[in-house]
A and B are shown apart, each in its own frame.
Chain A
Amino acid sequence: MKKLSFIAFALLIGTANAGTIEMKVYGLVCGFCAQGIEKTLRKNPATADVVVSLENKLVAVATRDGQDISDADLTKALTDSGYDVKGIARTQRSLDDIRTELKQEKK
């Protein structure tokens, strides 16, 4: 069931591509508490930018050119921040695209 959910999540948000990594995360209900996620991910030298959306249970990371962060490292970073990762997908959306879509969703 978990595997099916992950496949559906990956299909929903796009095909694999280095540059942007999107994670579905459970437990994201408070921005005050979730800031630790952003702080942890930004410490990774491969991280260029981070977007967190409580509404979409989404944590998105843009990596620097030619660099990647493994699924295991991402899962560990989120788990060590106290949250549960339910899916990881590499997508073609830029973080600017994601920010724009999130703003449109709020309207």
Chain B
Amino acid sequence: MNLFRFACASLLAGAATLAQAKPIAFSQGTTVMAEYGAGTMTEAQVFYAPKYFLSLGGGYLDLESDIDHRRREITYARVNYLVKRWNMEDAQANVFVWGGAGQAYVSELDQHQFAGNAGAQFDYETRRIYASLKTDLHRAEAFSHRVDTLQLGIAPYKHDFDSLATWFVLQGRQYTGGIHDGTEWALLLRLFKRGAWVEAGVTDEGKLQAMAMVNF
């Protein structure tokens, strides 16, 4: 068992989890996010939330197959909706859904096509553990790609409102439609304080996985 797999197993054994990005941060807040996903996906998003349960905005997603190097450059407008939130004394859980539409460049055809987007996320978190499962579908006439992401996190200490939050996160991600074979695992270090969030780590193939986000 190599070091990476041992670390993954240890994290899972700890049954812990972390705070993951939510598609809606807070009412009348703006969220700007950029993610670099191991060379396979690059995404940037901007959302504004007029209500705590609704945000509107758009994004850019670049998917590049690490099998045959086909590319999709998708620009989309999206609506995110909080279907249900459970506020517990020491925990919170959420169900989000989203939908949108835009345009995709399809490299093997060298043409642009209309593209639709739909997804959902469930998350549960305390101040020490976090779990989330997200599915994100992008579809056009020439392709259908679903990106499924599982995140499990553990915090070594309980952060508070004005203190730095530190999380160790195990991420598993699967792509459909010939973007990547199998599950891509990554170990991440996540740090956030008030409105600023950064995370970075490495995949089981030794590639960089990173994300930055600000809320204001």
Q: Which residues of A contact B (CB under 8 A)?
A: 26-27, 29-40, 52-55, 57, 80-84, 102, 106
10 A–B contacts from the bound complex (CB under 8 Å):
A29-B91, A29-B92, A29-B125, A30-B165, A31-B159, A33-B25, A33-B92, A34-B161, A55-B158, A82-B85
**Do the beta carbons of A39 and B28 come within 8 Å of each other?**
yes
B residues in contact with A29, CB < 8 Å: 19, 90-92, 125-127
Q: Which residues of B contact A (CB under 8 A)?
A: 19, 22, 25-29, 51-53, 82, 85-92, 125-127, 158-163, 165, 192-195, 197, 215
**Do the beta carbons of A52 and B161 come within 8 Å of each other?**
yes
Complex Cα gap A80–B29 (Å): 12
A1 shortest CB reach to chain B, Å: 14
B residues in contact with A81, CB < 8 Å: 26-27, 52
> Which residue in chain A gives the minimum CB-CB distance to B25?
A33
Complex Cα gap A49–B92 (Å): 26
Complex Cα gap A102–B197 (Å): 24
Given A26-B89, A36-B27, are A82 and B82 neighbors across the interface (CB < 8 Å)? Answer: yes
Number of A-B contacts (CB under 8 A): 93
Complex Cα gap A106–B157 (Å): 12
